[in-house]
Chains A and B, each alone.
Chain A
Amino acid sequence: MFRRAHFTALGLLLVSAGAARGEPPVATPPAAAANAAVPANPASPEDPGKRLYVRHCLSCHQADGGGVPNMQPAIAGGAWVKGDPGALALFVMTGGFDSAQRKDSAVDNVMPPFAQLGDDELAAILTYIRQKFGGGAAAVDAAQVAAARANIPK
Chain B
Amino acid sequence: MRSSSLLKVVSLSLATAAGFAGTVRADDGLVVPDGFTATVVQEGLGNARHLAIAANGDLYVGGREGLVAMRDKDHDGKIDETAKFGDVQGTEVRLYKNWLYVSDDVGVYRYALKKGELAPKSAKETVVGGFPKERQHADKTFALDPKGTLYVNVGAPSNSCQERDRQEGSMGQNPCPILEKYGGVWVFDGNKLDQTPANGRRFATGMRNSVAIEWNDAQNALFAVIHGRDSIDTLFPALYNAQDNATRQAEEFHKIVDGGNYGWPYTFFDTKLGKRVVAPEYGGDAKKEPEAGKYPNPLVAYPAHWAPNDLLFYSGKSFPAQYQGGAFIAFHGSWNRAPEPQAGYKVVFQPMKDGKPSGDYQVFADGFAGEMADNNPRNARYRPVGLAVAPDGSLYVADSQKGRIWRISYARK
Contact = CB atoms under 8 A, between A and B. Distances in A.
A63 B164 contact: no
Interface in B332-379: 335-336, 338-339, 373-379
Contacts of A71: 335
Interface stretch (A2-10, A53-61, A129-137): A53-61
Contacts of B242: 59
A63 B135 contact: no
A27 interface: yes
Interface string B186-219: 0000000000000000000000000000000000
A110 interface: yes
Nearest to B159: A109
A113 B164 CA distance: 9
A58 B242 CA distance: 11
Interface stretch (B24-32, B93-101, B165-173, B272-280): B165-173
B234 interface: yes
Interface residues of B, number: 33
Contact of A62 (B64, B166, B374): B374
Interface in A20-53: 26-27, 29, 31
A26 B400 CA distance: 9
Contacts of A58: 338-339
A113 B230 CA distance: 17
Interface in B162-183: 164-170
A113 B167 contact: yes
Q: Interface majority SS on A: helix, strand, loop or mixed?
A: loop
B284 interface: no
Interface in A56-115: 56, 58-59, 62-64, 66-72, 95, 97, 105, 107-110, 112-113
25 contacts: A26-B47, A29-B378, A31-B378, A58-B339, A59-B339, A62-B335, A62-B375, A62-B378, A63-B338, A63-B374, A66-B376, A66-B378, A67-B378, A68-B335, A68-B378, A69-B377, A70-B64, A97-B165, A105-B135, A109-B135, A109-B136, A112-B167, A112-B170, A113-B164, A116-B168
Interface of A: 26-27, 29, 31, 54-56, 58-59, 62-64, 66-72, 95, 97, 105, 107-110, 112-113, 116
Interface of B: 46-47, 64, 135-138, 164-170, 230-231, 233-234, 237, 242, 245, 335-336, 338-339, 373-379, 402
